[in-house]
């Protein structure tokens, strides 16, 4: 039995359902922009991927700095707006609005209770590829640290997040970490490659599609403390 001292969590789609939040934030931000400057041709998801690819070629940091990515996309869509100072003001205000709306989340059932329970026994941390700030939520009080892609300067499944995590607390190695997340590659494979134990949050009854062993899984947060207790305590 491993001596687990630290539990790290993904955020989006692990602590809350991210799609409704991002969809609403995107809609309200675009509406605000169009209220300022008129109709914009936003394009579809394939257009977004092409723009993202082109931006990364010119600035590789955009691959992990999603705030910069969003601002640059706004800037491209507003290239016809003059003067430049007004365009830049719209970009900054639109980004600030998006971040505000991006934090209007609804936790999955029993997340807060489970985190409170686990925080009494373990060091809790956040490892996220997104730009949600856990300390803007009441549950932030349960976490010792939070590492985003901006801080790690890379994205899971790359090891950078996990390397940063063990720097946060003396006496903790990969052997002492349990990582919990929903993404089979970004979370589970990223941790598995480093010998870190994992629990897979699978609330959608998804099929395991990877060529490495499926970890233990759970689909309801109310069960998490007991699962961890039975396995590690």
Rounded CA separation 188/206 (Å): 14
Query: What mean pLDDT is predicted for residues 102-122?
Result: 98
Q: Are 69 and 52 in contact, with CB atoms under 8 Å apart?
A: yes
Rounded CA separation 22/186 (Å): 19
On average, the pLDDT of the chain sits at: 96
Here the tokens at position 58 are 């010119």
CATH topology of domain 6-17+106-232: Rossmann fold (3.40.50)
pLDDT of residue 45: 84
Rounded CA separation 187/198 (Å): 8
**pLDDT(49) > 90:** no
Whether CATH 1.20.120.1600 fits 19-102: yes
Matching residue, tokens 């494979």: 189
**pLDDT(1) > 90:** no
CA 184-185-187 angle, 5° bins: 75
pLDDT of residue 75: 95
Question: Confidence band (pLDDT; 50, 70, 90) for 77?
Answer: very high
Here the tokens at position 177 are 């970490």
**pLDDT(134) > 90:** yes
For the ranges 47-56, 105-114, 166-175, which has the lowest average pLDDT? 47-56
List, for residues 205-227, the tens digit of each pLDDT value.
999 999 999 999 999 999 999 99
Q: Are 51 and 73 in contact, with CB atoms under 8 Å apart?
A: yes
Long-range Cβ pairs for the range 29-33 (8 Å, 24+) = 29/94, 29/97, 29/98, 29/101, 32/93, 32/94, 32/97, 33/74, 33/77, 33/78, 33/90, 33/94
| pTM score, whole prediction | 0.94
Domain ranges of the chain: 6-17+106-232, 19-102
């Amino acid at each position: 039995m491993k001596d687990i001292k630290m539990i790290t969590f993904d955020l989006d789609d692990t602590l809350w359902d991210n799609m409704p939040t991002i969809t609403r934030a995107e809609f309200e931000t675009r509406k605000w922009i169009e209220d300022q400057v008129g109709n914009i041709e936003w394009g579809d998801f394939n257009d977004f991927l092409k723009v993202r690819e082109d931006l990364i070629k010119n600035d590789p940091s955009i691959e992990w700095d999603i705030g910069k990515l969003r601002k640059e996309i706004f800037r491209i869509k507003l290239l016809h707006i003059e003067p430049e100072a007004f365009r830049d003001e719209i970009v900054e205000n639109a980004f600030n609005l998006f971040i505000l709306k991006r934090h209007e989340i609804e936790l999955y059932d029993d997340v807060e209770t489970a985190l409170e329970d686990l925080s009494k026994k373990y060091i809790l941390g956040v490892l996220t590829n997104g730009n949600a700030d856990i300390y803007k939520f009441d549950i932030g009080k349960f976490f010792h640290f939070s590492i985003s892609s901006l801080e790690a300067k890379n994205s899971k499944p790359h090891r950078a997040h996990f390397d940063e995590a063990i720097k946060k607390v003396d006496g903790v190695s990969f052997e002492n970490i349990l990582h919990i997340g929903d993404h089979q590659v970004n979370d589970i494979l990223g941790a598995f490659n480093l010998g870190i134990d994992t629990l897979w949050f699978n609330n959608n009854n998804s099929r395991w599609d990877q060529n490495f062993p499926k970890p233990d899984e759970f689909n309801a947060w109310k069960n998490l403390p007991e699962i961890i207790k039975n396995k590690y305590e």
